[in-house]
Structure 1
Amino acid sequence: MNLIQGYDPDTLREIVDPRECVTRLAEIEHQRSLPVLLERVWLLKVLDRLDEALELADETVRQARMAGTRKDLLRARVLHATVLQNRGANAAAAQELATCASEAEGQGWAGIAAFAHQHHGKNAYEVRDFEQARESFKRSLFLRRAAGADDSDLEKALRAIEAAERRSAMEADALV
């Protein structure tokens, strides 16, 4: 089920229908599997219920550490970092995302590394470090291609690169 309707051009955050997200959250509220916990964290995050999202993200990381695979743990840590980002803890989010991206690349997990780099780019974009954002998005694109991602995932990465370049140019023009 894809609840993402698009991306905000100013923040690159997901645009969702809150009613659909609340409905989905109610459907899975009492399930405890790791994939469902990850989905619940994401739903709480996009609904801007960040205190609940952080608490559940912490629990999800613990569960992944105890009962999941290393890939599961990386996915949980990336999602946890995105909650930190949405809460305004951009430095902590950047650190965690960079660590996750590096670890995933070291293991040869291109898909997870691309996911971490994409979010690292979004975090940099949000704090107006458009050069770092562009570099992270470009790395995500490269890794997505290597992982055989479909065209829609490649398109998302390309649009993010373009957004970072456009914002960087706008800021440069404003300084002149």
Structure 2
Amino acid sequence: MSTIRGYDPETLREIVDQRECRERLEALGEQRSLPALLERVWLLKVLGDLDASLSYAELAVRQSRMAGTRKDLLRSRVLHATVLQARGSHTAAIAELDTCADEAEGQNWPNVAAFALQHRGKVYYDLGQFEEARADFKRALFLRQQAGAPEEALQTTLQAVDAAERRRADVAVSA
């Protein structure tokens, strides 16, 4: 069962069941597999424990470099960048996501590229750069459609495009 209940239409942040997240984190225990590490990073991030989340994100990146595939490494780096974003390190997050999106597109991995672009769009969105956010969300949508992503992923990306367009229009009206 997913702990994500939806996405806040204004911030684009995940709406989660905090209790379920804590229970899932407890259930993971000390598992050190890459999937468990990545899940732990995300859970700690949405629970607001950004120091621990960053620590585990760095561990996941190291583990991916040593024993994972290139796709594993890119996914780990994207998740690491989302923790940087949550900590307010927007420039570092954008730089990491730039590299990940470029490599994934160069390798013709549309799902990974879309994952990176969706998150880079969220960083731009946080910064109030709604045109850049919209462009990233639209590119992510195209890549997800190309890859045959599930409807839920497409809807999430469409909501992000709509939010960026709405915020961009609000800024234009108030200027």
TM-score by length of 1: 0.98
Corresponding residue of 2:143: 143
C-alpha contact (below 8 Å) 1:130/1:165 kept by paired residues: yes
Within 2, Cα distance between the matches of 1:112 and 1:2?
A: 20
Within 2, Cα distance between the matches of 1:35 and 1:140?
A: 23
Give the gaps of 5 or more residues in structure 2: none
Identity %: 62
Deviation of residue 80 (structure 1)?
0.1
Deviation of residue 93 (structure 1)?
0.3
Within 1, Cα distance between the matches of 2:145 and 2:10?
A: 26
Moved over 4 A (4+): none
Give the gaps of 5 or more residues in structure 1: none
CA-atom RMSD in angstroms: 0.7
C-alpha contact (below 8 Å) 1:117/1:137 kept by paired residues: yes
Corresponding residue of 1:42: 42
Deviation of residue 10 (structure 1)?
2.0
Matched to 2:44, the amino acid is L
Name the SS of the counterpart of 2:5 in structure 1.
Answer: strand
Give CA-to-partner distance per residue, 1:120-162, whole Å, 9 cap, x none. Answer: 0011000000000000000000100111011111111111101
Within 1, Cα distance between the matches of 2:78 and 2:136?
A: 14
Deviation of residue 119 (structure 1)?
0.3
C-alpha contact (below 8 Å) 1:29/1:40 kept by paired residues: no
TM-score by length of 2: 0.98
Indicate the larger mover: 149-158 or 125-134: 149-158
Corresponding residue of 1:14: 14
Within 1, Cα distance between the matches of 2:71 and 2:113?
A: 10
> What is the number of residues matched between the two proteins?
175
Matched to 2:74, the amino acid is L
C-alpha contact (below 8 Å) 2:4/2:15 kept by paired residues: yes
